[in-house]
Structure 1
Amino acid sequence: MNKKTKKNIIEYGIIGVVILTLFATGLHTEVIGFLQRGILKTGLMDPDLKDTNGFTNKKNNPPADYSLSLVNSKDEKINMEDFRGKVIFMNVWATWCPPCVAEMPGINNLYNDVKNEDIVFIMLSVDQDFQKAIDFNEKKGFDFEVFRASGPMPPQYNSQSLPTTFVIGADGTLALTHMGMGDYDTEEFKEFLKALK
């Protein structure tokens, strides 16, 4: 075996050990999320607000389904119906999902910028163990509340993609569905939310 081959084997071995360690410790989600946060800043993953959902104006947007029952981190039961008449930003996410982790700091910034604007945030965890979502939120120091569904998910919000974000206007219509991660911490998105009031 020549020197170059030995060097390659050692390099690949080190890379393999690092990857295995990340997966064994659960840190892979954080590391991948950190890398994806850099991708978010390029603007390539931003939701398309020009033609949201294929709906070009409010009157063509479908009605939102308010039949979702929720439980928050304090174990309080809340019905989505309670938020009717307000703009709702609903993000479906999980702690084990790197793109979800990547977009969370931007969502937290958005939340803090618009929380006094009568805009409701439903950060809907699909973790099997809801306590993981609560612990994650506290560890990261995010200011928004986390929720879990306490009943079946309405078909309108079923998605094969995590994260998925839905925005419902104050008029009760579904104004945006964005599958995959997005950078919501932009002036354009804040103006979009405010325009839905």
Structure 2
Amino acid sequence: MAGRLFPDRGLLGVLLAAVLLWRKAPKAAPWAILPLAAGFFVWVVVTTLTDSGAAPRAPGTSYAVLARDETLSIADRKGRPAVLNLWASWCPPCRREMPMMAEMAESNPEVDFLFANQGESRKVIEAYLRQTGVDLETILVDPFSDLSRHYSAIGLPATFFINPDGTLAATHLGEISRETITERLAALSSNDRKQTE
């Protein structure tokens, strides 16, 4: 963990130089802190974007399925690839992509399409579905947005492509296109064939 917080001694050197400058010339210190803060911000962004840590596995938590009196655990599915879409009724891009996502789910029965609502109650979800007429088979109720935290989704919609073994194959943040889903599903089935050979 310390390696992630301080990737090299250069950062410690810059911090030490800023402290020394602060002590010797307090009036110049704010100007010295500005580039330090900017550098730290860039380091955080680059570290986040290039983090080579292992992708999270599907969570073992069970979520209520909206239309059925049952729960579902993403990790305990029956060895099938999955597309997990995180959405909310207040999210305009979620609303725009949902009819297309419903069509993709219907035309790809070999893949589990899971639509996990983030942070809303059953009543709100049901009212939205009645209003729009969108027909989705498996809607998970995630009132505390646990899946957003688990997969570190920084916004909605977010779509995750999950291998049959529960490992994360690909992610897409923001509104997704039919072409992107088709491309990702082809990659999923290719990965599945390689694992079974």
Q: TM-score, normalised by structure 1?
A: 0.59
Q: Work out whether 1:168 is the aligned partner of 2:167.
A: no
Please list every run of 5 or more consecutive structure 1 residues that lacks an aligned counterpart in the other structure: 1-52, 55-59
Is the 2:119–2:145 contact (alpha carbons within 8 Å) kept by the matching residues of 1? no
What secondary structure does 1:96 align onto? coil
What secondary structure does 2:115 align onto? strand
**1:91/1:75 CA distance change after superposition, 3 Å:** same
Partner in structure 1 of residue 120 of structure 2:
128
Q: Structure 1 residue 175: deviation in Å?
A: 0.5
Q: Work out whether 1:157 is the aligned partner of 2:151.
A: yes
Q: Work out whether 1:62 is the aligned partner of 2:55.
A: yes
Deviates more, 1:72-81 or 1:134-143: 134-143
**1:105/1:144 CA distance change after superposition, 3 Å:** same
In our comparison, the structure showing a higher alpha carbon Rg is 2
Q: Work out whether 1:95 is the aligned partner of 2:89.
A: yes
**1:193/1:114 CA distance change after superposition, 3 Å:** farther
Q: Structure 1 residue 70: deviation in Å?
A: 0.6
Amino acid at match of 1:141: V
Provide the aligned C-alpha RMSD in A. 2.8
Partner in structure 2 of residue 21 of structure 1:
none
Measured in 1, the distance between the counterparts of 2:145 and 2:185 equals 30
What secondary structure does 2:166 align onto? coil
Which of 175, 186, 191 is the aligned partner of 1:191?
A: 186
**Higher helix fraction (1 or 2):** 2
Measured in 2, the distance between the counterparts of 1:145 and 1:164 equals 16
Q: Structure 1 residue 98: deviation in Å?
A: 0.1
How many residues are paired up?
139
Is the 1:69–1:151 contact (alpha carbons within 8 Å) kept by the matching residues of 2? no
Q: Structure 1 residue 152: deviation in Å?
A: 7.1
Measured in 1, the distance between the counterparts of 2:54 and 2:135 equals 31
Q: Structure 1 residue 77: deviation in Å?
A: 1.8
Q: TM-score, normalised by structure 2?
A: 0.59
